[in-house]
A and B are shown apart, each in its own frame.
Chain A
Amino acid sequence: MKPILTYRRSWKINLIFVLFCFSFAQLYAQTNTITGKITDETGKPLPGASILVKSAKTGTISNQDGVYSISAEKNAVLVISSISFDTQEVPVNNRSVIDVSMQASNKTLNEVVVVGYGTQSKRAITGAVASVGFNEFKDRSFSNVTQSLAGKIAGVNISQSQGAPGVSPIIRIRGVSSITAGTNPLFVVDGVPLENFNLNLINPQDIESVDVLKDASSAAIYGSRGASGVILVTTKLGKPGKTTISAGYEYGTQTVARKVPLMNAQQWIGYYIDAHNNAWVDLNPAVNKASDPNSARPSTYRIPEDFITNPQQFGNGTDWQDVMFRVAPSHNAQLSVSGGTEKTQFLFSLAYLDQQAVLDENYYKRLALRSNIKHKVSDKFSLGLNLGATTIFDRTEGTQGKSDVISLAQQSDPIFPVYNENGNLGYRDPNSVWNKYVAYNDLNLWHPYSLTRFYHKQNKSFNTLATAFADYYVTDDLKFRTSISGNLFNTRLNSYRVKNQGYGYSGLLPAEGNVQSSYMLNWLSENTLTYDKQFGDHSLNVLAGYSVQKQRDEFATVTSGSFPNDLVETLNAGVVTSGSSTATEWSMISYLARAQYNYQNKYFLTSTIRRDGSSRFGTDTRWGYFPSVSAGWLISDESFMKNATFINNLKLRASYGMAGNNQIPNYGAISLLGSSNYVSGATLASGLAIGNIANTNLKWERTTQLNIGLDLRMLSDRIGLSAEYYHSVTNDMLLNVPVPDISGFSTQLTNIGKMQNRGVELNLNTKNTTGKFLWTTDFNISFNRNKVLQLGPGNAPITYTDYVVAVKTEVGQPVSNFFGYVVDGVFKNQVAVDAAPHYSTTKPGDPIIRDVNGDGKITVDDRTTLGNNQPDFIAGITNNFSYKGFDFSFMLQGSYGGEIVNQNFRYLGFWNNGRNMYASVDNRWRSEADPGDGKHFRATLGLTGLQDQFHSLWVEDASFTRLKNIRVSYTLPTSLMSKTPFRVARVYVNAENVYLWSSYTNYDPENTTYGASNYSSGSNGLNASGNAPNGAFIGVDYGSYPLPRSVTVGLKLDF
């Protein structure tokens, strides 16, 4: 690490350094021109190496062939450096040709890591920071860079909740530290902190590196927003020298590799008949018989005659998954131009992604433009602008759970054909022979096309993220930087529901049109002073800064009905029936400071403090301090280690810091009045009712974390090991503390809880072979243990329930345990029912509910913990092989020991008003002699034995191992390329989500229909009812989008 500046990466530092210090040197020196070629150990040309004249002010960069040319005095010394290589000093000694062979350096130590408001060399890192460079995700086909990081970083659990294109993964860094507040990490894009930012808006091909601040001491520089970790994204900038034009094209296909086995028409009809007959007989066992004809039964118990007389006519029926899912192609074209001079560097890029979704009619199209420019006005003054503009047109459905198209298709009865004889979709077509089935209330069809083809939707998003900055060197050591950033995000969602929806939906609905639009403007002004100075063995870097940030969100919606026909879909054709608009704001002022000190580049000490003031918090508690301190000791540089030559690097790190969590509603501290209108005669009588209790003492959650880390590289860097231990405690945890309902309110948002996360992370990198055939392995594993230490008054447990599923948080347990009854099989016969404690109406074939408290009765007190979504550990392993131009790698990723709620069991596990069911339900209890598999209950319309209560059969093992990625690439040899206009050509094949090993019944154990709690706009997934935070239900799958397998073939050309 060059100690003078803090900049993005070492080559850049060198470069800037060169430009900065030596640009006027030529004017004064007595010079010769020296030329030469820079190569690596194997003799390959090394482009982009920095050559500078020591103690003068000139420098240059080697070109694509490694060749350079520089003017220097005859007795000068050249300093040659390049990323990943040891810097060399070469005396000129009157030579005019100097070729230099560079030695690969101890890479990891000299790499530069972005740490927030600056960079640090890896050597100097004292916290827990993970850095992933472009090379590690360049061929991955994900639209969001964090998706490509899943399984790669210890302690960072990246989970793809929904497989639809454009859905961001749920990211949890070192467990979860909040019950109520949001748990998404803070995203910082080119220095702009953006809460709940959608990284799909940044083209991964434009990203230079992603750095993750995991521990509280590293994150403390982001103060009240750092408690869930910080993800720093840095975009690329060109290098001085020849302009590089890169073009790439990728073609891919996606498929649903794992369908859910559902009943076919015959199995379903069998169930339907049994359910009706059983319920009819149950109604009055003395009189009613299963053989009674429809005429003897009320409508509820009637069975379509065809089911009895000729069920074979339905054949196997329709598997609606086959109807809605398809093989979906994708195209991704990239073009970038980068380069520059010593004064000006730039990168322009353009990328177009056109991805069909595996779900019918769904797609995701993204156009991303970027222009990054940096210009040096003078030695002291430079300016820059990073501008990214992204447009997304998409149609994304199937992610909203049970009432969205994917889940509805699972629930649809298999007896119906894709098209009826009139070419319409469903049995509600009055002119169809199928129309006779409308007489049966318990037949269901939500034809996927009725939602995808007869319901038109398009979402358009426009994002502009711009950062303009100016650096001014007050002295050589003191830099002032000011920046202004703006993020403008607009969306527009147009939808139109065609009248009667092709007769394929569950009802004949009138046409309806809706337009929703949202707007978000976030601006940030940041001013920092950096002082960087070396005093002999002492090196000091001090940062002080001040920033102001504000955001405003607006939302509007308008709905029209009464359309005369389906010819015009814009709202003017109908009559506007409702409309609304809302807006919210937040603002923040921050002061920050950091001091980094090292002695002999061996002992490192960093301390930071940030003071944040936020509009979100109570007037009495508006400001908070977030300090941290950390230290590192490079033991391997000690003289006593000189003899331990097998150790290349050994470093001990320790840190302690505090970061906050501010992710609560913008006006969470204030008692709001909600509209509660009454009517008087024919006019509205406006009313306002108090919606919540104020809390003027509301403040951030504070997470303090101790981190101890050890880095070891040994045997000529063949083995690298990094281990971390952390212990974090979140204080003042925000809870919607229950208050007795007789107060008129159920809860009050209060800082009262306490939670702990402890964990161990291990990273092991090995070079298994060296030489021409290179094989490396990267393995990481992380363990996190989450425990609630304190809750509201009396530590009363907090239970949230949504659609029957209950999650309970109690002291001493991890947050959000699944809480319900335990089912111990199915009652074989009446004797078994009578012999066991049972719910009053239980019949043979109903579930055996465990009498957990042993009081001989089945009551609500028999509910108990059924599991928790948090895994015992997560792990990832990547193997890379390279030989000549070939590269091959594959990655396995897994999560072990967590549970998932298959809430679809509520529909698909037993009779629920005639919906289709899992094929396994065919193994149900039919009689004492035919008791089935002990997991599936007797068919009946009435649910007599608590089947529909949340119980253990809904909870499944979420452990999985996934062959996440396979990549093969081939770089054409230079000898071949020299005959073409191209400098580099590479072809590759990339496959994602290749195979899943999991026992989970539904699509994917990573599926969760509820996302992380997110109080800003743009949350994805189902919203929990009441004031339950969505995050409490992470791990509950209530109808989800499968994670498709995608295979892409790509070509990349540089010229």
Chain B
Amino acid sequence: MKHIKHILAIVCLCLAATGCKESFLNLNPVSNPTADNFKTRDDFELAVNAAYASLYLVYHPEGSVSYANEQMSDNAIVFNISGIQSDKWQFKDYSLATSNTMIYQFWQEYYKAIFNANIVLDKIEGASVDAGYKDGVKAQMMFLRGLYYFDMVQLWGDVPLVTTPLTGEESYGVLRSPQSAVYDQIKKDLIYAADKLPLASAITMPGRASKGAAQALLGKVYLTLGDKTSAATVLKEVYNSNQYSLLAGYADLWGPTVKNTKESVFEIQYLGGNASAPFSRYYQTFYPNNNFLGFYGGGMNQVTDDLYNEFEANDPRRDVSIALGYNNSGTFISQKYPIKWTDTKATQVGGNPLANNNFMVLRYADVLLMLSEANGDATYLNLVRTRAKLPKFGDAAYPTAKYATLDLAIEHERRTELAIEFHRWFDLKRTNRAIPVLTAKGKAITQTKLLWPIPQIVRTQNAAITQNAGY
């Protein structure tokens, strides 16, 4: 029995030495925080920033609104890019298949973005943070949610309307809501946002949504719904808020260090120079698909001659917006591409230039053009043209022969002023001009192709989700 005691002693020693405790198995991740937060104001700041970071995907140079507005319109095509090329070409060709992997990716990105806003809205309700802060955060999240749903409803029509975080099981029960219900939610969100958000001048963190941003977006929503009166009212409020103005020259708007100017209404913030920071990808992605600068251009949104020729001959905006081609080891290659987001000095890491250019989702020129569209008054349009040093609509020198009506003038002005800023296709849809204009340009567009298909995989997962007509 003496031995047994020895053994027990040894065993006990060994057990003690190796820490035989349940806590030995409780290992928290070393390099990731866990999702057990959402308590303090700091926690919410982190979550709010993550919700804003969703903009990087949605407004990615190869994101949904880029494909829709540039590829599906007459502005641009795509050359020589990696991935499933046929899936990418289906946009410009109007041959979108339900199996298109890009469409599915966009669908996922939007709902991820909406989750990131919804989780904040959900968690902040019960959090002990001060009421003013709470309202401000909610307003920002609703602005983002409104923005995302507004894109989605324009792309897909009826979409599942998710306004709270859902479990996997719950999400089987949420089917497509009619467009009208989606728009109601968008309006509700944006009205709340416009009510609670501070004026641009009171924003302390550049890039955060302002009252003007919510109002400008709401104006666009009203325009899209055909409610020009409401649009005019809310846009006029932006106009009268004295928060915004056009910069002196169109070229002043662009450049890696031009950020959050007086003309900017809502702007996505990027930080160049560091591979682990959110750097700007527009420069690289819009470069022709060749690597004469030491990096591969993405060949995305290569400008059509049609867009190039839309500019009036002496329009200074043309050469600020579009390059004619590039010089490849002494040989000039003729291929037009967008240059608004150029950052030639960007540090290159791993074949990527880490550019610093921001991207404006809403800017004052857009607001002014919408205001003219809403109230039929060319004054605001002409502010934009005056900045471009072009004759005003109504002046003798205006190319009236081509753009006889104010509507056509606005269409022309929006296309040139806002070239490759992801507006064109939505503009044409909003004004019911998509089919006539794009058919004339040789696009195989039809009424049903004004909406994207619901991704096949979404319907495989949940058979109760319906498909859009024509797919």
Interface residues of A (CB under 8 A from B): 299-300, 428, 430, 435-436, 438-439, 441-442, 472, 474-475, 478, 480, 482, 506-510, 512, 525, 527, 529, 546, 548, 550, 552, 559, 561-562, 575, 577-589, 613-615, 619, 622, 666-667, 670-674, 676-691, 693-694, 737-746, 748, 796, 799, 801, 804, 840-841, 859-860, 913, 943, 946, 948-949
Contacts and interface: CB of A to CB of B under 8 A. Distances in A.
B462 interface: yes
Contact of A577 (B51, B119, B274, B461): B274
Interface string B319-358: 0000000001111011100000000000111110010000
Contacts of B11: 480, 527, 546
Contacts of A442: 80
A1023 B225 CA distance: 46
Contacts of B382: none
B26 A482 contact: no
B19 to A, nearest CB: 7
Nearest to A906: B84
B111 A744 contact: yes
Interface in B103-134: 107-108, 111-112, 114-116, 118-119
Given A299-B333, A580-B276, A740-B462, 20 more contacts: A428-B329, A512-B350, A525-B14, A559-B350, A581-B31, A584-B29, A614-B25, A622-B22, A667-B32, A672-B34, A673-B33, A676-B49, A676-B53, A678-B53, A685-B269, A743-B162, A744-B115, A801-B101, A946-B86, A948-B84
Contacts of A546: 11, 14-15, 20
B275 A578 contact: yes
Most buried by B among A509, A672, A687, A693: A687
A687 B45 CA distance: 7
A783 to B, nearest CB: 34
Contact of A585 (B30, B112, B168, B460): B30
B47 A688 contact: yes
A684 B277 CA distance: 7
B27 A615 contact: yes
Contacts of A475: 3
Contact of B278 (A478, A583, A678): A678
Contacts of B168: 693, 737, 739-740, 743, 745, 748
B61 interface: no
A743 B111 contact: yes
A214 to B, nearest CB: 29
B298 interface: no
Nearest to B109: A741
A615 B25 contact: yes
B258 interface: no
Contacts of A804: 84
B292 A507 contact: yes
B107 A741 contact: yes
B401 interface: no
Contacts, number: 284
A860 B35 contact: no
Most buried by A among B4, B115, B354: B115
Interface residues of B, number: 105
Contacts of B201: none
B456 interface: yes
Contacts of A472: 10
A742 B160 contact: yes
A552 B291 CA distance: 41
A738 B461 contact: yes
A675 B296 CA distance: 27
A589 B20 CA distance: 8
A922 B261 CA distance: 59
5 contacts: A478-B7, A546-B11, A673-B34, A796-B460, A859-B97
Contact of A686 (B46, B80, B160, B171): B46
Interface string B397-411: 000000000000000
Interface string B160-178: 1010011110111010000
B108 A436 contact: no
Interface stretch (B62-70, B203-211, B212-220): B203-211
B18 interface: yes
A679 B277 contact: yes
A525 B10 CA distance: 13
B333 A583 contact: no
A1026 to B, nearest CB: 10
Contact of B49 (A438, A581, A685, A742): A685
Contacts of A685: 45, 49, 52, 205, 207, 269
Contacts of A691: 32
A508 B111 contact: no
A474 B277 CA distance: 63
A737 B168 CA distance: 9
A180 to B, nearest CB: 16
B269 A687 contact: no
A474 B7 contact: yes
A584 B31 contact: yes
B36 to A, nearest CB: 8
A613 B22 CA distance: 9
B333 A480 contact: no
Most buried by B among A480, A508, A742: A742
Interface string B188-232: 000000000000000001111000000000000000000000000
B187 interface: no
B277 A741 contact: no
B318 to A, nearest CB: 20
Contact of A578 (B80, B112, B165, B274): B274
B254 interface: no
B166 A679 contact: no
B243 interface: no
Contacts of B49: 676-678, 685-688
B348 A441 contact: no
A687 B6 contact: no
Nearest to A547: B18
A689 B277 contact: no
A688 B111 contact: no
Contacts of A579: 276
Nearest to B297: A507
Contacts of A435: 329-331
B35 A673 contact: yes
A672 B32 contact: yes
Given A525-B17, A613-B25, A679-B271, A860 B50 contact: no
Given A680-B208, A742-B162, A577 B275 contact: yes
A578 B349 contact: yes
A678 B207 contact: yes
A508 B294 contact: yes
B260 interface: yes
Contacts of B51: 687, 689
Interface in B142-186: 160, 162, 165-168, 170-172, 174
Nearest to A737: B168
B29 A667 contact: yes
A676 B55 CA distance: 11
B423 to A, nearest CB: 23
B330 A671 contact: no
B424 to A, nearest CB: 22
Contacts of A580: 276
A584 B11 CA distance: 30
A439 B101 contact: no
B233 interface: no
A586 B276 CA distance: 27
B458 interface: yes
A243 B84 CA distance: 65
Nearest to B166: A743
Contacts of A681: 205-207, 259-260, 269
Contacts of A562: 347
Nearest to A482: B14
A506 B171 contact: no
A748 B170 CA distance: 14
A388 B265 CA distance: 65
A671 B205 CA distance: 29
